């Protein structure tokens, strides 16, 4: 038997809290329907693609004194996409809910992500199996994967596997792309009278899967607290040594929620927000000017050190870089099969071929970049055919360009200080951390609630637990139709239905909190040191959620 750490032993004992509506089990629930819904955009196209599942109402649950009986159900569950803290608790909540409803119910876990349901690779969960993973991080209970569920062949194979196991419902735990797949699978099952329901659960540490019904995606709380601890540790070191600027890139490709939340928890000297860069049409040169100005002013005050937080996806939001990368994405599909490119004798030759294929302005941008960045831009594409921005060392690009700018200023007699930089990238460090108490409770509730949606025969829904800044027993459990969050976007050159990503709102209370304090934090060392994620102790320390959620909810409540 694997030896457990003392913390593991204690976390396995933790009993997650549930909303009061779910505490008596799903057999004591009443379903309350809201109004009919429509997609956030492109209503006619989305409705045409989801004829059988479009326009359904939102639903909430309330507990009733009577108790019904639940027929025997076999359910399958899939972990899809990147890891996020709390995924194991979603499965534990789902398992406890279905076993509480009827002890003869079975839960099957498909191995390795969506490919498991296609290939028929699975495991049946037991009490002993589940109990070993409660309140733990990671997705290692059954593994995850990024296989897409979108073709007729995949749907047919998934149906055959479900029929073989007598599965009548599938729960897909994932982010926006994974839940888009859940919506497609749900529609196909209904259209083909398969008799199999599909329910999604909102997962992504990026925080970009949210709306009025989904206040936060699970994993965001734990991941941002983990990153904030690391930033706080570096801030303490910087304030001690007083000789380094630390450039810290943080996970979050399409949205800057993680960087923004980590900044609010730690108060670094510089925080870049991708959405702001795009909205202000800031060039790479203007970003360098902004950062260099703060570095020089701090140096003039005798402070040749500081902290800069940079979102992972920044480079795509810089207008000239975004245009160049988009152009590059379009031509790379043909270059990868072009013998002159594939067999080029040197990297420089490859650069020349790329510059010859890019539009003239984009070629100039590409040519101006350091060789390291140009090479990284040619690396393997992601599953959507796009540049993998996590592999582009934006933090090193900024350091190199700021170093050149400072050298120029020094030659002009406008800078006499010192600049020595360290680079960091925080990504995988946060994806599999032990879930915070909030994520442990929230994830367990999402899973428990998911079987409630199944028990009422719903399909094409996302498990929703709201009112999350209140104590857990006041949380509101229910569901939101997946089609409600969808719009049409270009993927691989084709317009496809996808769940719309929620980006940082520059007119929202969270960004305003940064904006209002930016200059103060830049020049004065207002560093906060959050420390490790807390599991035991006073509620004011252990049960607090993110600054993001607190600010967003307080604004919503104020408007009621």
Q: Does residue 140 belong to any structural domain of this protein?
A: yes
Q: Give a yes or no: residue 1 inside a domain.
A: no
CATH number at residue 296: 3.40.50.460
Residue 1 has pLDDT above 90, yes or no: no
Given a cut of 80, whether residue 8 has pLDDT beyond it is yes
How much is the pLDDT for 513? 98
Question: Which pLDDT belongs to residue 480?
Answer: 97
Query: How many C-beta atoms lie closer than 10 Å to residue 224's C-beta?
Result: 30
- Range with the poorest average pLDDT among 288-292, 360-364, 382-386, 457-461: 382-386
pLDDT for the residue numbered 355: 94
Provide the pLDDT confidence category of residue 385 given band limits of 50, 70 and 90.
low
The pLDDT value recorded for residue 384 is 63
Q: Is the pLDDT of residue 429 over 70?
A: yes
List the domain range (segments joined by +) for residue 522: 220-319+388-431+508-554
Model pLDDT, residue 308:
98
pLDDT for 422 beyond 90: yes
Number of domains in the chain: 2
Q: What average pLDDT does the segment 22-27 reach?
A: 96
What is the model's pLDDT at position 490?
83
Q: What share of the chain is helix, strand, coil (3-state, %, to 5)?
A: 45, 15, 35
Cα distance between residue 363 and residue 239, in whole Å: 42
Q: Are residues 262 and 166 in the same domain?
A: no
Looking at 491, 517, 533, the residue that finishes a domain is: 491
- Say which CATH number the domain at 109 has: 3.40.50.450
Both 460 and 521 in one domain: the answer is no
- Would 76 be classed as within a structural domain? yes
Do 313 and 459 reside in the same domain of the chain? no
326 in a domain, yes or no?
no
pLDDT at residue number 66: 85
Cα–Cα distance measured from residue 251 to residue 271, given in angstroms and rounded to the nearest whole number: 14
User: Binning pLDDT at 50, 70 and 90, where does residue 386 land?
Assistant: confident
* Average pLDDT over every residue of 175-181: 94
**Alpha-carbon span 272 to 260, nearest angstrom:** 8
User: What is the pLDDT confidence band of residue 338, given thresholds at 50, 70 and 90?
Assistant: confident
For residue range 454-489, list pLDDT tens digits in order. Answer: 999 999 999 999 999 999 999 999 999 999 999 999
3-state secondary structure 154-195: HHHHHHHHHHHCCEEEEEEEECHHHHHHHHHHHHHHHHCCCC
Q: What is the mean pLDDT of residues 315-321?
A: 91
What does each C-alpha distance from 283 to 133, 176, 316 come to in angstroms?
47, 29, 11
Model confidence band, residue 210 (pLDDT cutoffs 50, 70, 90): very high
Provide the whole-model pTM. Answer: 0.93
The residue from 177, 206, 208, 441 that is catalytic is: 206
Q: Do residues 515 and 538 share a domain?
A: yes
Q: Does residue 42 have an active-site annotation? A: no
Q: Is residue 560 predicted with pLDDT exceeding 60?
A: no
pLDDT computed for residue 559 by the predictor: 64
Give the pLDDT confidence score for residue 83 in this predicted structure. 96
* Same domain (yes/no): 215, 227: no
Are 547 and 451 within one domain?
no
| 160-179 average pLDDT score | 97
Q: Are residues 117 and 174 part of one domain?
A: yes
Q: Is the pLDDT of residue 139 over 80?
A: yes
Mean pLDDT of the chain: 94
Q: What percent of the chain has pLDDT over 90?
A: 85
pLDDT value of residue 423: 97
Q: In whole angstroms, what is the distance from residue 318 CA to residue 314 CA?
A: 7
Where b means 16+ CB within 10 Å and e means fewer, 165-189 reads: bebbbbbbbbbbbbbbbbbbbbbbb
Considering the domain architecture, whether residues 295 and 195 belong to the same structural domain is answered as: no
**Same domain assignment for residues 515 and 441:** no
Query: Could you tell me what percent of the chain has a pLDDT over 70?
Result: 98
Above 80 in pLDDT, residue 527? yes
**Are residue 228 and residue 201 in the same domain, yes or no?**
no
Does residue 370 lie within any of the structural domains? no
String of DSSP letters for 279-320: HTT--HHHHHHHHHHHHHHHHHTT---EEEEEETTHHHHSHH
> Locate tokens 């498990």: which residue?
463
Confidence class for position 336, pLDDT limits 50, 70, 90: confident
**pLDDT per residue as tens digits for the range 235-261:** 999 999 999 999 999 998 889 999 999
pLDDT at 332: 84
The whole-number pLDDT of residue 557 equals 63
**343 assigned to some structural domain:** no
Residue 243 is assigned to a structural domain of this protein: yes
Same domain, 84 and 215: yes
> Does residue 514 lie within any of the structural domains?
yes
SS3 annotation, 397-434: HHHHHHHHHHHHHHHCCCCCCCCCEEEEEECHHHHCCC
Identify whether residues 35 and 113 lie together within a single domain.
yes
Structure tokens at 442: 């929230």
Band of pLDDT at residue 383, cut at 50, 70 and 90 = low
Alpha-carbon gap, residue 403 to 408, rounded angstroms: 9
């Amino acid at each position: 038997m694997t030896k457990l750490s003392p913390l593991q032993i204690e976390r396995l004992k933790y009993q997650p809290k549930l909303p009061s509506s779910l505490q008596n089990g799903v057999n004591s629930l009443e379903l309350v329907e809201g109004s009919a819904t429509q997609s956030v955009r492109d209503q006619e196209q989305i409705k045409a693609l989801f004829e059988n599942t479009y326009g359904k109402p939102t639903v909430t649950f309330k507990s009733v004194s009577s108790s019904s009986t639940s027929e025997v159900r076999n359910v399958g569950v899939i972990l899809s996409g990147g890891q996020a803290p709390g995924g194991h608790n979603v499965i534990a909540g789902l398992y406890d809910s279905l076993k509480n409803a009827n002890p003869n119910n079975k839960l099957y876990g498909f191995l390795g992500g969506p490919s498991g349901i296609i290939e028929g690779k699975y495991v049946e969960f037991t009490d002993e199996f589940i109990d070993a993973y409660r309140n733990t991080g990671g997705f290692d209970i059954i593994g995850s994967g990024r296989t897409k569920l979108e073709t007729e062949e995949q749907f047919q194979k998934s149906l055959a596997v479900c029929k073989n196991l007598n599965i009548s419902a599938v729960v897909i735990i994932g982010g926006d792309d994974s839940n888009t797949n859940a919506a497609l699978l749900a529609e196909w099952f209904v259209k083909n009278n398969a008799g199999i329901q599909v329910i999604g659960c909102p997962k992504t540490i990026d925080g970009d899967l949210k709306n009025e019904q989904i206040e936060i995606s699970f994993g965001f709380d734990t991941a941002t607290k983990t990153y904030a601890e690391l930033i706080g540790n570096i801030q303490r070191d910087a304030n001690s040594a007083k000789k380094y600027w630390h450039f810290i890139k943080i996970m979050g490709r399409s949205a800057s929620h993680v960087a923004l939340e980590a900044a609010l928890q730690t108060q670094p000297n510089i925080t870049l927000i991708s959405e702001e860069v795009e909205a202000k049409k800031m060039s790479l040169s203007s970003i360098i000017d902004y950062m260099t100005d703060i570095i020089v002013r701090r140096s003039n005050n005798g402070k040749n050190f500081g902290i800069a937080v940079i979102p992972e996806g920044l480079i795509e939001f810089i207008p000239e870089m975004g245009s160049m990368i988009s152009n590059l994405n379009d031509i790379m599909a043909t270059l990868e099969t072009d013998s002159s490119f594939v067999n080029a004798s040197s990297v420089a030759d490859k650069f020349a071929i790329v510059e010859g294929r890019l539009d003239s302005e984009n070629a100039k941008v590409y040519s101006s970049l350091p060789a390291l960045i140009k090479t990284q831009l040619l690396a393997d594409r992601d599953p959507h055919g796009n540049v993998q921005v996590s592999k582009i060392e934006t933090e090193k690009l900024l350091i190199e360009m700021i170093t050149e700018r400072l050298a120029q200023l020094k030659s002009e007699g406008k800078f006499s200080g010192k600049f020595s930089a360290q680079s960091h990238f925080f990504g995988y460090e946060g994806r599999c951390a032990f879930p915070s108490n909030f994520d442990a409770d929230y994830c367990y509730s999402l899973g428990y609630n998911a079987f409630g949606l199944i028990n009422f025969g719903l399909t094409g829904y996302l498990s929703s637990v709201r009112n999350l800044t209140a104590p857990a027993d006041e949380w509101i459990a229910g569901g939101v139709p997946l089609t409600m969050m969808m719009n049409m976007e270009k993927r691989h050159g084709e317009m496809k239905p996808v769940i719309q990503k929620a980006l940082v709102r520059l007119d929202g209370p969270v960004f305003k909190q940064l904006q209002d304090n930016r200059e103060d934090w830049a020049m004065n060392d207002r560093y906060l040191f959050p420390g490790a994620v807390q599991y035991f102790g006073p509620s004011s320390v252990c049960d607090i959620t993110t600054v993001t959620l607190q600010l967003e909810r307080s604004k919503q409540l104020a408007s009621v």
